[in-house]
Structure formats: C-alpha cells, structure tokens
Homo-oligomer: A and B are copies of this chain.
Amino acid sequence: MTRPRNDNFLRALLKEPTDYTPLWLMRQAGRYLPEYCETRKRAGSFLQLCKNPALACEVTLQPLSRYNLDAAILFSDILTVPDAMGLGLTFTEGEGPKFERPLREEWAIRDLSAPDPYDHLRYVMDGICEIRRALGNSVPLIGFAGSPYTLACYMIEGAASSDYRRVKTMIYTRPDLMHHILSVTADAVVGYLNAQIESGVQAVMIFDTWGGGLSAAAYREFSLHYMQRIVAGLLRQRDGERVPSIVFTKGGGCWLEAIADIGCDAVGIDWTLDIGEARRRVGHKVSLQGNLDPAVLCASSDIIAAETRRILDSYGPGNTGHVFNLGHGIAQWTPPEHVTALVETVHEYSRALRRKN
C-alpha cells in the first residue's frame, strides 16, 4: 500500500511536515448537502443508506466533489456496532436513533458478545472496499467507531437522553454490570476497527460524544480506560504504512493531558478550548484536530474566514501537528456554499503562515 497523492492529513497526524494545514469536516457527508438528501431518499431511510455499500460510497464521495477536502470519512453510524450485537437499531424521522432491545436486564447484559465484523458488519467492509476503489489514490479514507461509553449510553437508555439517568444509575449502583458492557463493547470496537483497517481505511477515529458528561474520576474509569484499551488493540500499520488514530471526547477539554496519554496519535477538541492553549498543554505528545464552532458557518464568508484565521493563528507557527476540523459535526442548516470559504481560508492562510515563519 502506498500513501495517497494527497497525504497531508496523514502527515499532520504523524507530525510530518505539510505545505498547508489539511482539513476535513465531521459529518461532511450529511443533510446540509442536497445531493445527500436525494441519495438518502433513494435509499429509503438513514439505516438503509448505512447498510447499502454502493449508496454509502456515493454519499462518502459527495463532499469531496464539492470541496477541496483532505480526507474522506466512511459514511456510517456509530450505532451499527450495538445493532450488530443484536439490540435492534431503528431511526425514526425527526426522533433520532432507538434500540428495540435496550439493555435493561442483567441476563441481557451477561449475554452480550462482540460480533464478528465480517459477518454482521460485512456491509461496512464492503463499503470501505468500494470507497477505496472510487477514491483511487486521491485522499485518505478515515474509519471510525463510537467509544464504548458513548455506545453504552445508547444501549442502556435505548435512545438519546437529556440526563443519562439510567446510565449514571448503573455506574453508581452496579459498576460491575457497566464494566461488563464496556468491556464487551471495547472488544467489539477493536474487532470492528481492525476489520476496517484490513478493509482499507487509512486512519481511525473514536467518537466519545457523551464522555464529557461524566465526573473527572468516572470519565477515567468508564470512558477513557476503554478507549485506551481500544487504541492498544489497534493494528498499528497495514502494508507497511502507519494507521494513525484520533480520539475525540466532546466536552473533554479539562482532561486533555489524560487523553493525550493513552497512546493515540491525535486528539480531537471541541470549540470550547482554545487550540493554542491545547497545543501548549499536549502538543508535544499528540497532534490536534479541530476546532471551529459549527455555528460559525451560519455567518458570511468574511466572518467565516476571520474565525478560521483566528484558530490557525492561535495554533501558531510550525508546519505540522494540526488537522483543521469543526468542533462537532456540521449542522444540517449550514448553507453548502459557506463551506467553500472555510476550505479556502484553511488552505490559503495556513500556506501563508508557513511562508511567514
């Protein structure tokens, strides 16, 4: 395997020099793109879109034909893993994900087992092969999974929750059961991400959407610990090329040093943290990915450019270690043409900064 022609994303993650700051956007293939909505309609539902390799490939490529992005990310959903574990995932329009069989009984928890990714998640691996063929040698493909804690939140609550009361109750009353769920889910995620790597993804990202709602101590015990286990279990390379890993805990800014310590190559940060401060805290250890507030994309091109430059300025001089991204997924109400201003500013201004220093 050779690196793609545009390998700036991989280089930045591995702290190799780049001519400009590479970028991609969380949820870059999403509802803000009319062509995505059209494909999704054809698929019938969000879940059918995830499970159809040809259509998943189609939407994965859509943002790349519009914008000069430096990476593609597999179109899928973090909840396909618990679905493969037998919890029965459905998506209701406007209501979000729901599990038919949430984990409510001890026997159901004891019965959990890690699925064979080549069996129940075959469609993901097929999608990856198809996307890699379609991308040719252009840009790298990112694979991903949810963190065990974030997946457990959905598995236990059965849906998104405002307070994660059932999850917290389990943490504080039956930590043994919680650890069992997390342990099996971590095994499932390791198997899943390694199958993605074997199928062709060139970097992996772990999304910890809900870990930020835990106490400092509970975060380490119930979320970070399992992400560390996953990172330790990942295939480090494929065909002689390193496969870098990114860990992102939304709302995890206070715990940055601890996250940077688990062996990942990069840490994703949300927009609440100043990226220059994050770099001073952990930049010697990991690369950083982030961190524009997705809400900025509602503003005019001038403002988008100014806020983008502010982040590049704050990150500061140097020619590596930063992958530009939003601090969270792009919002569905984002005008697609606004993304152009962001992409151009990141590329041009970061080139100019490198020339200046």
A216 contacts the other chain (CB 8 A): yes
Given the known inter-chain contacts A214-B272, A293-B218, please indicate yes or no for A331 contacting B165, CB distance below 8 A: yes
Interface string of A307-323 (1 = CB under 8 A from B): 10010000000000000
Interface string of A272-304 (1 = CB under 8 A from B): 111001000000000000000101101110010
A173 contacts the other chain (CB 8 A): yes
Interface string of A250-267 (1 = CB under 8 A from B): 010110000000000000
A212 contacts the other chain (CB 8 A): yes
A298 partner, pick from B173, B271, B293, B296, beta carbons under 8 A: B173
The answer to whether B214 and A172 have CB atoms under 8 Å apart is no
A92 contacts the other chain (CB 8 A): no
A219 contacts the other chain (CB 8 A): yes
Which chain B positions have C-beta within 8 A of A172? 295-296, 298-299, 303, 307
For chain A, the bracket of interface size reads 35 or more
Complex Cα–Cα for A331 and B166 (A): 13
Which chain B positions have C-beta within 8 A of A91? none
Given the known inter-chain contacts A251-B251, A254-B253, please indicate yes or no for A219 contacting B272, CB distance below 8 A: yes
Complex Cα–Cα for A327 and B218 (A): 14
Which chain B positions have C-beta within 8 A of A219? 272
Which chain B positions have C-beta within 8 A of A217? 274, 310
Which chain B positions have C-beta within 8 A of A307? 172
The answer to whether B165 and A298 have CB atoms under 8 Å apart is yes
In the complex formed, the residue of B with least CB distance to A276 is: B216
A169 contacts the other chain (CB 8 A): yes
Which chain B positions have C-beta within 8 A of A303? 172-173
Interface string of A150-179 (1 = CB under 8 A from B): 000000000000011100110111000000
The answer to whether A173 and B295 have CB atoms under 8 Å apart is no
Given the known inter-chain contacts A254-B253, A254-B273, please indicate yes or no for A298 contacting B216, CB distance below 8 A: no
In the complex formed, the residue of B with least CB distance to A173 is: B299
Complex Cα–Cα for A117 and B164 (A): 38
Which chain B positions have C-beta within 8 A of A254? 253-254, 272-274, 277
Complex Cα–Cα for A293 and B219 (A): 12
Complex Cα–Cα for A277 and B216 (A): 10
In the complex formed, the residue of B with least CB distance to A298 is: B169
The answer to whether B295 and A163 have CB atoms under 8 Å apart is yes
Given the known inter-chain contacts A310-B217, A331-B163, please indicate yes or no for A169 contacting B272, CB distance below 8 A: no
Residues of A within 8 A of B (CB): 163-165, 168-169, 171-173, 212-219, 251, 253-254, 271-274, 277, 293, 295-296, 298-300, 303, 307, 310, 327, 331, 333
Write 12 A-B pairs (CB below 8 A) sorted by A numbering: A163-B295, A164-B295, A165-B333, A168-B293, A168-B295, A169-B295, A169-B299, A172-B303, A215-B327, A216-B271, A216-B277, A251-B251
